[in-house]
Amino acid sequence: MVLIVKTPQKTNVSLKRDISTDEVDSSAEFLILEPAGYPMASLLDDYPEIENPGVFEHYAREQWNGCVVCKGEYLFDKRMYPDFAYRVKEVEPPESVIAANTSIVVNDIETSSTSKVEFRTEITFDDVVGQQIARQKCKLIERYLEDPERFGKWAPSNVLFIGPSGTGKTMLAKALANKTHVPLLPVKSTDMIGEFVGEGSRQIHQLYDRAQDLAPCIIFIDELDAIALDRRNQELRGDVSEIVNALLTEMDGIVERPGVCTIAATNRPASLDPAVRGRFEEEIEFVLPDEYERYSILESNLATFPIDVDDIDLSYFASKTVGLSGRDIVEKFLKTALHLAIMDGGKVVSADDFNTSLKRISKPVAPLNPDGLYV
């Protein structure tokens, strides 16, 4: 059997993508694309990889200038990879025109080494229970993002969120981005540790270059201790000094990036490298919820249960969940009770389900027997 495959032609062909002549009120401010591939498959099709997001942005603006874009539509490459499609994931404002000042970002999990951009988040300050002191301090960041030029050298460029896991650090960063209408670049520190020497530092610099193009914006680095561990403990987890040095360079502002606010989060502040921790102008502490706040967390989340809930004493369970973070209350207490009811075939979550869930949380963990660790 002979297999005939059509060889893709990487030539400059003319595609019939109409550029709208209708009057549009505004040009696109932000445009998020994701690769969709070719309309038809071929064994020899090449999948384009974007090595330099800044160069691709200019390349894309030039060929799609004047196109009216809507969420869910497709844009086709006309030059290097004819007929390769990019799906419009987000555009702000909706149904606007690509212009010379449009920021174009491609989110590609497989080929992009930098962070995805969140132009819109649904998290608001109302979703963050408690943390009044943290919210008060975040007003400074809010004012800065609303008017970066006003602050000049006094800008709160580097802020550290510290506190136990599940206390709302990530939620508050997203709420800030939502309130100020700025992009958020979320980064998990472990994703910055590359396979090859120099890869991690390159990703740090690419991240800040991207943020500069989108400014004003927030860079949110979660689990900072994963890359900024005290250098005295580096031998415990490998050499990440190049990542630390790159991060210090960016935080020092050697390359000025007005409008870029770095917010990092950690639940292990004591383990941070002093050189990194000292670069943060402000540390904002997040604390475990008190009894009143735990009551509010229980009440708001019970209202979203997919099945009915018995009339239970929320004050009792609020008093019994002391020491739990908001996430622990939802994931370990409420979700467990709900799953118990569903597994038993019930249509209502009973007080017994909640009491059983509470006992599982309160059950002490038995210490390991050293004699049984080895066979």
Q: Report pLDDT digits (tens) over 212-256.
A: 888 899 999 998 988 887 766 655 444 567 778 888 888 887 778
- pLDDT band of residue 337 (cuts 50, 70, 90) is very high
Q: Are residues 131 and 280 in the same domain?
A: yes
Give the burial string for 149-183 (b: 16+ CB within 10 Å, else e).
Answer: eebeeebbbbbbbbbbebbbbbbbbbbbbbbbebb
Q: Are residues 274 and 296 in the same domain?
A: no
Q: Are residues 296 and 147 in the same domain?
A: no
Q: Are residues 136 and 35 in the same domain?
A: no
Give residues with Cβ within 8 angstroms of 288, minimum separation 6: 164, 167, 323, 324, 325
* pLDDT above 60 (res 204): yes
Give tens-digit pLDDT for 85-96. 898 988 888 889
- Domain CATH for 298: 1.10.8.60
The residue out of 285, 311, 329 marking a domain boundary is: 285
Q: Are residues 68 and 131 in the same domain?
A: no
The residue out of 268, 285, 302 marking a domain boundary is: 285
pLDDT > 70: percent of the chain: 80
The residue out of 256, 285, 314 marking a domain boundary is: 285
Q: Are residues 235 and 348 in the same domain?
A: no
Q: Report the pLDDT value the prediction gives residue 18, as an integer from 0 to 100.
A: 46
Q: What is the DSSP string of 227-259?
A: TSB-GGGGGGT---HHHHHHHHHHHHTSS--TT
Does residue 297 belong to any structural domain of this protein? Answer: yes
Q: Are residues 249 and 195 in the same domain?
A: yes
Give residues with Cβ within 8 angstroms of 111, minimum separation 6: 35, 47, 49, 50
Q: Are residues 129 and 273 in the same domain?
A: yes
- pLDDT band of residue 371 (cuts 50, 70, 90) is low
Q: Are residues 339 and 252 in the same domain?
A: no
- Percent helix, percent strand, percent coil in the chain, to nearest 5: 40, 15, 45
Mean pLDDT of the 12-30 span = 56
Mean pLDDT of the 341-369 span = 79
Does residue 249 belong to any structural domain of this protein? Answer: yes
Does residue 331 belong to any structural domain of this protein? Answer: yes
Burial class for 268, CB neighbours closer than 10 Å (0-12, 13-18, 19+):
middle
CA atoms within 13 A on the CB side of 239: 6
Q: Report the pLDDT value the prediction gives residue 107, as an integer from 0 to 100.
A: 78
Does residue 140 belong to any structural domain of this protein? Answer: yes
Q: Are residues 233 and 133 in the same domain?
A: yes
Give tens-digit pLDDT for 33-75. 888 888 876 545 566 778 788 888 889 999 999 999 998 899 9
- Domain CATH for 61: 3.10.330.10
CA 65/CA 79 separation, integer angstroms = 14
Q: Are residues 141 and 261 in the same domain?
A: yes
DSSP 82: T
Q: Report the pLDDT value the prediction gives residue 233, as an integer from 0 to 100.
A: 60
Does residue 15 belong to any structural domain of this protein? Answer: no
Does residue 120 belong to any structural domain of this protein? Answer: no
CA 280/CA 172 separation, integer angstroms = 18
CA 361/CA 332 separation, integer angstroms = 7
- pLDDT band of residue 287 (cuts 50, 70, 90) is very high
Q: Report the pLDDT value the prediction gives residue 202, as an integer from 0 to 100.
A: 80
Does residue 99 belong to any structural domain of this protein? Answer: yes
Q: Report the pLDDT value the prediction gives residue 25, as an integer from 0 to 100.
A: 61
- Domain CATH for 212: 3.40.50.300
* pLDDT above 90 (res 334): yes
Q: Are residues 138 and 221 in the same domain?
A: yes
Give the burial string for 91-121 (b: 16+ CB within 10 Å, else e).
Answer: bbeeebbbbeebbbbbbbeeebbbbbbbbeb
The residue with greater pLDDT, 362 or 174, is 174
Range of the domain at 42: 30-106
Does residue 5 belong to any structural domain of this protein? Answer: no
At 129, give phi and psi (nearest 5°).
Answer: -85, 130
- How many structural domains compose the chain? 3
